[in-house]
Chains A and B, each alone.
Chain A
Amino acid sequence: MNFDEHKPIYLQIADLICEKILNDAYREDERVPSIRDMGSLLGVNPNTVMRSFEYLKTIEVIYDKRGVGFFVTPGAKTVVKSIFKQSFLNEELPLIVKKVKLLDIETEVLCNHIREGLKAG
């Protein structure tokens, strides 16, 4: 995994798990990898992974079965989708809009590209 230069690692690991929930790699009530396995897989300090899991617990994406591990909360996919949607609309899209302005791309051209992308996709 290549980490982003600016976002805290624990949030990037949380994003990674959320993405896996979105594309059904981890399903509801299924166990996610242990803190240690995740740390080893990514070469990241287990305490950092622990922080990612704690964060995912507070936003109710995963839950903790004592002594067994962490599991995907039922309904987690909806939660993740809405969080990702918010962050796309509020953080990523404004950057794209800025670039569209900078490059003088016509709205119609842009919309066509998006429509084609959606069709292909």
Chain B
Amino acid sequence: MIQIKDLSFKYGKKEVLNHISMNLDAGKIYGLLGENGAGKTTLLKIIAGLQKPYRGDCIVCNEIPFQRRPSFLSRIYYLPEEIDYIQNDYSAFHFADLNAPFYPNFDWEKFKKVLEEFDLDGTKKLNKLSHGQAKKAAISFAVAANVELLLLDEPSNGLDIPSKTIFRKIMAEYCLESTCTLISTHQVRDLENLIDPIIILDNRAVLLNESLERISEKLCFTLESAIPSDALYAEPTLGGYLCVSRNNNERESRVNIEALFNATMQHKTSIYELFKNA
């Protein structure tokens, strides 16, 4: 679905992405993680055709995004973090009336159902809604567009606690098997159990792009009373230390994405090497 090779990007002289490579497949819900300024939003914008790569290749749905052909744009949807573009003097239904024609597979029934699940009135003017409610309307449209590639930048930001749960349910229920979904986030806990594979981005490399299954084959996440000598990473928690270590004994543990992220940030090379080999 997405093939990125040796991609570099600069804002003026400031290098944001430097020789990034990765491939993404249809039918998966990828979680894109990275520290502030790692280039997550820039990467999403390049994939959506909103920014032009400085160097390298980015091929999405067999097209070059920046050419912005209608045949490409009708197959993808990019939901930015700031959704002021939707907060106009008209309703969610009217917004969909205006925008649905650009997306040939747009599903009105789905749109109505998702709005309903969010408990949102589609006839209310979008500029009269709170930021969180407008975000729900924007998410509903994005999901109902039934595109091949769905790009969501921090979708859970601004949602209240119950809506975050509803958001996960909606994504699990309505993302098509043929769709590739890429969600960038800092709120790992909001999306836990939903995102898989996990991508960890750094300005200089994709440090990790693996399924949870592969991660739990290679790494072990355990609660220990003392930090074992071979632990890659440990953080104090209730009842001891949450430790990340190499999985040498074929133990099956639950991947703690926050600990995985912190471990990767501390040991970029060893984590990268661990998954590169084998």
CA distance A48 to B212 in the complex (A): 9
Chain B residues numbered 22-42 whose CB sits less than 8 Å from any CB in chain A: 27-29
Q: Are A43 and B169 in contact, with the CB atoms below 8 A? A: yes
Chain B residue with the shortest CB-CB distance to A48:
B196
**Most central of A9, A45, A47 by chain B CB within 10 Å:** A45
| B6 CB–A CB distance under 8 Å | no
| Residues in chain B within 8 A of chain A (CB atoms) | 27-29, 165, 168-170, 172-173, 175, 177, 193-196, 211-213, 216, 221-223, 252-256
Residues of A within 8 A of B211 (CB): 47
Residues of A within 8 A of B222 (CB): 6
Identify B173's interface contact among A7, A9, A40, A48, CB under 8 A. A40
30 contacts between A and B (CB under 8 A): A3-B193, A3-B254, A5-B256, A6-B223, A6-B254, A7-B252, A7-B253, A8-B254, A11-B252, A36-B173, A39-B172, A40-B169, A40-B170, A40-B172, A40-B173, A41-B169, A42-B172, A43-B168, A43-B169, A43-B194, A44-B172, A45-B172, A45-B195, A45-B196, A46-B175, A46-B177, A47-B28, A48-B193, A48-B212, A51-B213
| Residues in chain A within 8 A of chain B (CB atoms) | 3-9, 11, 36-37, 39-48, 51
Q: Are B194 and A5 in contact, with the CB atoms below 8 A? A: no
Q: Are A45 and B194 in contact, with the CB atoms below 8 A? A: yes
Chain B residue with the shortest CB-CB distance to A43:
B168
Residues of B within 8 A of A5 (CB): 223, 254, 256
Q: Are A7 and B193 in contact, with the CB atoms below 8 A? A: no
Identify A47's interface contact among B168, B170, B196, CB under 8 A. B196
Residues of A within 8 A of B223 (CB): 5-6
Q: Are A43 and B193 in contact, with the CB atoms below 8 A? A: yes
CA distance A3 to B165 in the complex (A): 14
Q: Are A45 and B193 in contact, with the CB atoms below 8 A? A: yes
Q: Are A46 and B193 in contact, with the CB atoms below 8 A? A: no
**Most central of A4, A43, A46 by chain B CB within 10 Å:** A43
Q: Are A43 and B165 in contact, with the CB atoms below 8 A? A: yes
CA distance A29 to B222 in the complex (A): 38
Q: Are B172 and A7 in contact, with the CB atoms below 8 A? A: no
CA distance A60 to B101 in the complex (A): 48
Identify B172's interface contact among A3, A8, A46, CB under 8 A. A46
Chain B residue with the shortest CB-CB distance to A41:
B169
CA distance A3 to B194 in the complex (A): 13
Known contacts: A4-B254, A8-B253. The answer to whether A42 contacts B193 by CB under 8 A is yes
Q: Are A43 and B254 in contact, with the CB atoms below 8 A? A: no
B117 smallest CB distance to A (angstroms): 10
Residues of A within 8 A of B252 (CB): 7-8, 11
Residues of A within 8 A of B27 (CB): 47
Chain B residue with the shortest CB-CB distance to A3:
B193
CA distance A36 to B193 in the complex (A): 14
Residues of B within 8 A of A3 (CB): 193, 254
Chain B residue with the shortest CB-CB distance to A13:
B193
Residues of A within 8 A of B196 (CB): 45, 47-48
Q: Are A44 and B194 in contact, with the CB atoms below 8 A? A: yes
Residues of A within 8 A of B28 (CB): 47
Which are the 6 A-B pairs with shortest beta-carbon distances? A43-B168, A40-B173, A39-B172, A44-B193, A43-B169, A40-B172
A104 smallest CB distance to B (angstroms): 21
Chain B residue with the shortest CB-CB distance to A51:
B213
Residues of A within 8 A of B212 (CB): 8-9, 48
Residues of A within 8 A of B195 (CB): 45
Chain A residue with the shortest CB-CB distance to B165:
A43
